[in-house]
Amino acid sequence: MTMGRPAAVILALAGAVLAGSLAVAAAPDLGADPGLRPVPRPPALDLDAPPTEPKTTPVLHSGNPLWAVPLSSLTVTRERPLFSASRRAPAPPVVVAPVVQAPPPPPPPAPRQPERPRLSLVGTVGGEDGIAVFVDQATQAIVRLRTGEGHDGWVLRAVDGREVTLQNDRDTAILTLPRPDGR
């Protein structure tokens, strides 16, 4: 089988590329076929260089003129991305301030328990001017009060049989004598 000159040149180039030994000196004479032109090889990219070493862009005098343009100067491709339908850069992310919840209000104060007198009723004498006999629980002293008299902020208001009514500024307390049978 006979090959024409262009087919022989293509086979020679393919073999040289596969062998990795394409050299300018070994290139066939391309002047015979005006449709064939040599394609320059792109410069080697230095991707494995440590980041501390400054990368230098090789100066090319021949080949593709875009090889000499640094990627950092191509800002329009970032501003108008090819694969975006609107050809607009994505909007920057919106940072939302965290929601701060107010602390819950303090619980309302517990209802005030009525104050009790520190007296124990041990005896009563009925009548118009009733008399009540108490034991002060703090000092264990005997306290005798007539109706209208007071002790430790409590005033004797009424004496009625086996119970007495004491009152201070806010509260009223009714004390009763224990029953003789213990109930």
- In tens, the pLDDT along 88-116 reads 888 888 888 888 888 999 998 888 776 78
163 burial (CB, 10 Å; 0-12 / 13-18 / 19+) is middle
| Proportion of the chain above pLDDT 70, given as a percent | 64
Distances (CA, A) of 73 to 32, 127, 159: 41, 112, 105
Question: Looking at the predicted structure, is the pLDDT value of residue 67 above 50?
Answer: yes
- Structure confidence at residue 22 (pLDDT): 44
Ordered strands of the 172-176 beta sheet: 150-151, 154-160, 163-167, 172-176
Residue 85 has pLDDT above 60, yes or no: yes
Round the average pLDDT of the chain to a whole number and report it: 75
- Cα dihedral 54, 58, 59, 64, rounded to 10, equals -140
Give strand pairing partners of 156.
Answer: 166
Model pLDDT for residues 128-183, shown as the tens digit of each residue: 788 899 999 889 999 999 998 988 889 988 888 888 999 988 888 888 888 777 66
Taking Cα atoms as reference points, which of 131, 132, 113 lies closest to residue 121? 132
Residue whose tokens read 């980041």 = 51
Identify the weakest region by mean pLDDT among 55-59, 118-122, 148-152, 164-168: 55-59
User: How would DSSP label each residue in the chain?
Assistant: ----HHHHHHHHHHHHHHHT---TTT----TT-TT----PPPPPP-TTS-TTSPP-PPP-SSS-GGGGS-GGG--HHHHS-TTSTT--PPPPPPPPPPP-PPPPPPPPPPPPPPP--SEEEEEEE-STT-EEEEEETTT--EEEEETT-EETTEEEEEEETTEEEEE-SS-EEEEEPPPTT--
Asked if the model's pLDDT at residue 54 lies above 50, the reply is: yes
Q: Work out the number of other CB atoms within 10 angstroms of the CB of residue 136.
A: 15
Helix and strand numbers, DSSP H then E, in the chain: 2, 7
Residue-level pLDDT at 60: 46
pLDDT at 65: 83
pLDDT score of 112: 75
